[in-house]
Structure 1
């Protein structure tokens, strides 16, 4: 009955945070256990009592400051130097710029929104179809959960009680691997569609783009360098990135005005508040799941199906693709980690880092798959292109993502090599 209430509320369109909180309340009310009522407020606050979660609003703030301060456009011009002359040059520029943004923002939804405004109109002007331009931009958002920093990695690190910095390091090689597969997809589509060959910037333009892009390019170095060297925690790196974006946008590019800050802080507070509220509610729901010993039941069932770690990981990918289609990635992560991580570690001896990378990438794929597909609707609202039209153009990139997931599931060294 509790799960029936969950799905009824979900399909009635109730916000997912309320769905989780109300379902947990329903379970407590029907269980007749008054002690659980007394623990409910404690569980709500306990789910968000983590220093590591401070990285989420700080990375959101860094992204907002970058977009408002003109750093995004300079990163795009920096990408022109690297890949602008290839056939379908703007498609490569789009992807490289998304890689740079992924190393700053950590949020796939925010990245899709920002890059759609910046790249889709430019690609349309040069003859690319609108749906293809939107598809590449949306696919670039899939890099956000695995190229560090990543909000999902922050949350997974808190849930799994593993160092967030090491989760970030574990995502570097998988992020580069998926980027390579996306480059191959773009190259093949460019040949089939006969997109025009791009133009390399001349020497004067290269010098201009490099000089103007270097300050913006410092932000990924601040974030990743601070974490890799141990000089800063992920949360401290996010704070430094926000400060750097503010100073560069205000004093180097001069696009950011102090009068913009109240609106930037308001948007950051609203977006971060929604995420933190969702984490809190999902924490209560996860508490109910563990109390009911659902992980143990799931472990017994899975043990009957397979004893092969690779098959288990493929089962997880298949199930989570379906889960990600209807439930927000953050909520789904909080729900599945307490159930599946103990099984992965204890029964199949799977590293928490490998499991975390695969789960985070699988869940964020749901952003771009119907029926919910929030990323599709974000891209559609930014560009005016119907969501299903974007989805059809996105299919080759989703197949590349699926190939990445299979490789990461079967070859743990791809995740663990830098640890």
Structure 2
């Protein structure tokens, strides 16, 4: 049988597959997948006259970055502004299909320059058809489907359906109705996959809208965003929403920041798994006030966490002011999350923050404090942007690492990320981004 010839070879620098210990120095790609990983000599026989060769010259290869919580359409409308930046008008409404298409494409170009090959749009659907931004309704869904069909998406997209308002109320009736009439068909699921449902349980601590077991420092309390006559009915409706999505075979990502909201989510997931024991990769979004007992339950139930270290760093003073210093010190326990073994996805929540994953890794390292082994810490944090998001997507069998047979989604960095400090990482350039074996960005 003839030896296969590679379409693309990268050689002459560290190749961090994140599929196991150690690093290779060369990688061969054929038909959009990793053909072989090894030393330069292992790849030499796969090079033919039509093979494109990238001389790394010491530069490093890592799997493509996967931002598991990024509002790309909104980002494309606002960039270069961010909500934590110059405080632009967050609405800037997208009023036409053409504007929404341009926003998605603009975000795709930006993300390709950052080495991002996958992302999650966490909340698109009829709940935002009349929304003030124009960046989350069904018109956006139609644009995504059109771009996927035309082969113009610059990254793999996972999306969650939204049957309520962004950062606002939702009803059990609307979610149940939505589950009966909206599907995820019409595209290659490796390109565009409507994987589940987004539910807003509560708000955020700085706005005193996180649903907590205790009052805020000023004596106030928050309510769930889910509609209901009182706390008991709202809690019952949130539980019913999670159960309905689970029984429909859909993943649930719940925006839950307060400890009481997180308890409700875990209670519902535990009940759902008891009634239908299938792991749909449900996860908590943000999880600011998650506590040690809840982390143990999350690990047992297979519930992931999608969170933003940059928000933790930038809002720490505001959180202390509303929660009190003692309770604020226990928020965003990233070190405990990783120690317990919960699949942690570090994300940007762009355009809340910049989509630059290098900054988020630096923020996570800062928040966690000094590391015993900085190199191991860096590899762990890289997994939070590659391996763990692939699991959240239910796609760990085909993306997230550079093991042989996996899709060839990768980026080339100007320096080895395991040889620099986390604080230095934001200054390391992305030189090349490859999606499915195709170069989508070259610096």
Q: What's the TM-score once normalised by structure 1's chain length?
A: 0.24
Answer 1 or 2: which has greater helix percent.
Answer: 1
Q: What's the TM-score once normalised by structure 2's chain length?
A: 0.23
Between 1 and 2, higher relative CO (CA 8 Å, sep ≥ 6) is seen in 1
Answer 1 or 2: which has greater strand percent.
Answer: 2
